[in-house]
């Protein structure tokens, strides 16, 4: 079975109603991302950070997968597929994909603020101050903040190295180490990029599909299922 590796970013969930980061001047729903997505922000004002992620979680739970998420799941009929996503939503899983690596964590789980390896599922949308892990420390969202390690990056790089076909959907490639993953894909495999506003990409062998995810992904999947 051929291996397809798909790297996704915020753009794939835009048509599910979840805002991207860099299409809105670096502000996200009025917040400067550094004010809420860093360890310093958590030390300075944990209530604000908790509230911010509670709102994000609520939006995620209210959103549904779109045609692009569903189409990528269809690829599993014929291919060994791994999705590597920078997104903290669970729309790939709800769209039916079985093999998803969350580089930046997943908002539907909580994490110990002492040990990032201790995580729990969250019931509903709200994580409250005072809810603690088994070590007695406050629970926070299971997401990777700016300045924190990206524990899944090595596994993601290894998987990219196994790709027979590579697809990139809806990422500005502005954030490392995720953006560097494209360089682990073998040079001679077909590589596709789907984005309505294709970012600068430091590799010139991508097949460019300038379209929104729901318009660009399903036809590509249909073509790959016929090959
Ligand atoms: N379909 C496909 N792509 C789209 C769509 C759409 N409907 N709408 C916008 N895009 C594209 C934009 O053109 C842009 O290239 O999606 C990309 C979104 O880029 P970013 O907002 O920078 O999102 P992303 O690349 O996922 O950000 C990476 O940055 O803030 C951190 O941790 C956060 O995981 C995130 C990381």
Strand duo 31-32 + 3-8: pairing: unpaired
Express as a percent the part of the chain with pLDDT over 90.
Answer: 90
Atom of ligand 1 at shortest range from CA of 14? 7
State which of 170, 181, 209 you would mutate to test the pocket of ligand 1, scoring each by most atoms of that ligand within 8 A of its C-beta: 170
Best residue among 15, 18, 21 to mutate for probing ligand 1, ranked by most atoms within 8 Å of CB: 21
State whether residue 169 is helix, strand or coil: strand
Round to whole Å and give the CA distance between 136 and 119: 13
Residue 23's Cβ-count burial label (10 Å; 0-12, 13-18, 19+) is middle
- Cα 226 to chain centroid distance, Å, stands at 27
Residues involved in catalysis: 104
**Residue identifier of the C-alpha nearest atom 25 of ligand 1:** 171
The pair of structure tokens assigned to 42 is 């958590």
Provide the pLDDT confidence category of residue 126 given band limits of 50, 70 and 90. Answer: very high
Treating both helix axes as pointing N-terminal to C-terminal, what angle do 67-74 and 213-226 enclose, rounded to 10 degrees? 10
What is the 8-class DSSP label of residue 4?
Answer: E
Q: 121 alpha carbon to ligand 1 midpoint, in Å?
A: 26
Region 41-58 average pLDDT: 95
pLDDT band at 32 (very low <50, low <70, confident <90, very high): confident
Dist CA 150 CA 100 (whole Å):
15
Confidence class for position 24, pLDDT limits 50, 70, 90: low
Written as six digits, the tokens of 56 are 């994000």
Q: Are strands 105-112 and 119-121 parallel, antiparallel or unpaired?
A: antiparallel
Q: How many other β-carbons are positioned within 10 Å of the β-carbon of residue 206?
A: 17
For ligand 1, pick from 6, 16, 22 the residue to mutate: most ligand atoms within 8 Å of CB.
22
Q: Whose CA is nearest to atom 5 of ligand 1?
A: 11
Does residue 176 register a pLDDT over 90? yes
Q: How many residues does the chain have?
A: 227
As for ligand 1, residues whose beta carbon falls within 6 Å of it are 9-12, 14-15, 20-23, 33, 86, 104, 170-172, 174-175, 195-197, 199, 212-213
What superfamily would CATH give domain 1-17+65-104+150-227?
TPP-binding domain (3.40.50.1220)
The more confident residue out of 27 and 75 is 75
Q: Report CA Rg, the chain.
A: 18
Task: In whole angstroms, give the CA distance from residue 157 to residue 59.
Answer: 30
Report how far ligand 1's centroid is from the alpha carbon of 21 (Å).
6
Q: Is the pLDDT of residue 149 over 80?
A: yes
Just give the CATH number of 19-62+106-143.
Answer: 3.30.1600.10
Q: How many CB atoms lie within 10 A of CB 152?
A: 17
* Dihedral sign (CA 38, 144, 84, 56): negative
Element (H, E) at 160: helix 153-160
For the segment 41-66, the average pLDDT, to the nearest whole number, is 96
**Domain spans of the chain, in order of start:** 1-17+65-104+150-227, 19-62+106-143
């Amino acid at each position: 079975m051929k291996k397809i590796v798909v790297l996704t970013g915020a753009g794939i969930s835009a048509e599910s109603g979840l805002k991207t980061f860099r299409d809105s001047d670096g502000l996200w729903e009025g917040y400067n991302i550094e004010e809420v997505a860093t360890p310093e922000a958590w030390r300075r004002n944990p209530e604000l950070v908790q509230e911010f992620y509670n709102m994000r979680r609520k939006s995620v739970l209210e959103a549904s997968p779109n045609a692009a998420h569903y189409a990528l799941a269809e690829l599993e009929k014929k291919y060994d597929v791994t999705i590597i996503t920078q997104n903290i939503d669970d729309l790939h899983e709800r769209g039916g994909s079985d093999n998803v690596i969350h580089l930046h964590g997943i908002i539907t789980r909580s994490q110990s603020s002492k040990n990032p390896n201790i995580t729990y599922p969250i019931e509903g949308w709200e994580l409250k101050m005072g809810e603690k892990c088994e070590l007695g420390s406050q629970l926070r969202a299971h997401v990777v903040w700016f300045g924190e390690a990206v524990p899944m990056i090595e596994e993601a790089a290894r998987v990219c190295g196994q790709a027979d076909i590579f697809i990139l959907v809806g990422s500005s490639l502005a954030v490392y180490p995720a953006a560097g993953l494209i360089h682990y894909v073998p040079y001679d495999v077909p590589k596709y990029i789907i984005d309505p506003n294709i970012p600068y990409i430091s590799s010139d062998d991508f097949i460019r599909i300038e379209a929104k995810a729901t318009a660009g992904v399903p036809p590509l999947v249909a073509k790959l299922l016929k090959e």
